[in-house]
Amino acid sequence: MEPSAGARPVIAIVGSVETGPSYTPALKRPEDAPAACRELGRRLALAGYDLAVFSAKRKYVEYDVVQGYAQATEGAGTVFLHVPRHRDHDFGLPEGSSAEVRVVRDTGPEWEVSFYRTLLSCDAALFVGGRQSTRVAGVIAMAQRIPMLPVAAFGGGASQVWANLDKVRNDTTDDDIVLLGQDWRADSARRLVRCLDEQRLRRAEWLRESERTARRSLLTAGLGTVVALLLLLCSLLGFVLAGDPGPATGRRLGVLVVTPLIAAMAGAVIRSSFETVDQWPRAAVRGLGAGVVSVLLYVASQLLTVPSLLDELDVRRLLFFTLPLGFSAGFTFDLVFERLRSGAAPDTPPLPGGHPPPQGPADRP
């Protein structure tokens, strides 16, 4: 569907109130529906809407809505008539009518294709009466959060759409639901169109908030990536700061312990970037906790195996083990905490020289 100049909102008109076929739910006061549809069309013209219709036959509500739309003294714009390629329709509007009817032919022979495709591109939808296709269109519109007016006063599929909208709500309020379910009155058309305008305003605000949330998420994810990169670079600086082997000093012990913890935080932040909701600050804290447990257990196993380790501490050599260990612990912090909850210690890599880590008393035969 091509929008008219000025980007006026387009509302799809759906439904029928033909008295012959059976309706589920049954129609109510179908004799009053044509006049109501004409008044709705006039009010939509005054509110600045364009129409999207799918038939010019009198048995569908499009005919009466378009008649009322064309009779408006001001505001009437374009009526987009969507029809299959082999059909012709004419609303019989008088010469010089303020409404312009623009035929949009679909390439397919079935009206359903053009109908549902056009519905998804509209800014709003009006449902009056109707049967199965009206109910299906209402479900699609609700799923796409399209502002809608399911007029329940005349029964049919529109009343079922109204009942379903009460469960979904989208951009409607309690007062809107009550209004949509009321019997038709002299001022119903005016109030319904105002209700539609308010729904569109709420949806526009929801879209703006969604865009703001998406931008914040992208910014947070980008910041998390930068933080992970900086943490990785900082952890690699440990090889530079390690110095030569020598007795354990505060600086050597600090580099040995802190460097893999930074790598653990980097691993947790990178892991968080794969999640649906990227909460890298919280992930960094969890990674730090997992890194503390894993790295300290590894260092403790080294001290138990080599008691003189601190007399000639080779920090750079140990970092080749503790850095990957810390990163792995942070990246898989959920597995580390799961093992801790089950009472098992996290796995540690083998000691230098291929020796297995020492066994605790609970692991000895």
pLDDT tens per residue, range 37-83: 999 999 999 999 999 999 999 999 999 999 999 988 787 789 999 98
Average pLDDT over residues 94-98: 77
Tell whether 76 is covered by a domain. yes
Angle ∠(82,83,84) on CA atoms, nearest 5: 135
pLDDT at residue number 162: 97
- The answer on 178 and 221 residing in a single domain is no
Tell whether 298 is covered by a domain. yes
- The answer on 227 and 162 residing in a single domain is no
- The answer on 262 and 166 residing in a single domain is no
- The answer on 157 and 270 residing in a single domain is no
At residue 348 the predicted structure's pLDDT band, cuts being 50, 70 and 90, is low
Give the pTM.
0.72
- The answer on pLDDT for 177 being more than 50 is yes
Q: Which residue has the higher pLDDT, 295 or 343?
A: 295
pLDDT at residue number 255: 92
- The answer on 143 and 239 residing in a single domain is no
pLDDT at residue number 95: 74
> What does the mean pLDDT of the chain come to?
87
- The answer on 316 and 176 residing in a single domain is no
Tell whether 191 is covered by a domain. no
In the structure, how many helices (H) and strands (E) does the chain have? 11, 6
Look up residue 230 and give its amino acid: L
Residues above pLDDT 70, as percent of the chain: 88
Tell whether 4 is covered by a domain. no
Q: How many CB atoms lie within 10 A of CB 130?
A: 29
- According to DSSP, the residues that pair with 102 across neighbouring strands are 80
- The answer on pLDDT for 360 being more than 50 is no
Query: CATH number, domain at 107?
Result: 3.40.50.450
State which of 184, 203, 237 marks the end of a domain: 184
Instruction: Tell me the three state secondary structure of residue 349.
Output: coil
pLDDT tens readout for residues 197-223: 999 999 999 999 999 988 988 888 889
Tell whether 209 is covered by a domain. no
- The answer on 239 and 149 residing in a single domain is no
Which residues lie below 8 Å from residue 159, measured CB to CB, with a gap of 6+? 25, 28, 150, 152
Instruction: Tell me the three state secondary structure of residue 296.
Output: helix
Query: Residue 198 is encoded by which pair of tokens?
Result: 């308010």
pLDDT at residue number 364: 40
Tell whether 202 is covered by a domain. no
- The answer on 120 and 225 residing in a single domain is no
Instruction: Please report which helix (H) or strand (E) contains residue 104, including its range.
Output: strand 100-106
pLDDT at residue number 218: 87
State which of 131, 165, 184 marks the end of a domain: 184
Tell whether 131 is covered by a domain. yes
Which residues lie below 8 Å from residue 186, measured CB to CB, with a gap of 6+? none
- The answer on 343 and 238 residing in a single domain is yes
Average pLDDT over residues 291-309: 87
At residue 305 the predicted structure's pLDDT band, cuts being 50, 70 and 90, is confident
At residue 320 the predicted structure's pLDDT band, cuts being 50, 70 and 90, is very high
- The answer on pLDDT for 4 being more than 60 is no
pLDDT at residue number 345: 59
Sheet holding 50-53, edge to edge: 100-106, 78-84, 50-53, 10-16, 124-129, 148-151
- The answer on pLDDT for 134 being more than 90 is yes
Is 102 within 8 Å of 33 (Cβ atoms)? no
Rounded Cα distance between 183 and 32, Å, is: 11
- The answer on 273 and 128 residing in a single domain is no
Tell whether 206 is covered by a domain. no
- CA 346: distance to chain centroid? 38
Which residues lie below 8 Å from residue 24, measured CB to CB, with a gap of 6+? 131
When divided into structural domains, the chain yields a total of 2
Domain range enclosing 239: 216-363
Rounded Cα distance between 64 and 62, Å, is: 6
- CA 284: distance to chain centroid? 26
- The answer on 267 and 166 residing in a single domain is no
- The answer on 223 and 178 residing in a single domain is no
Average pLDDT over residues 9-34: 92
- Beta strands 124-129; 10-16: pairing state: parallel
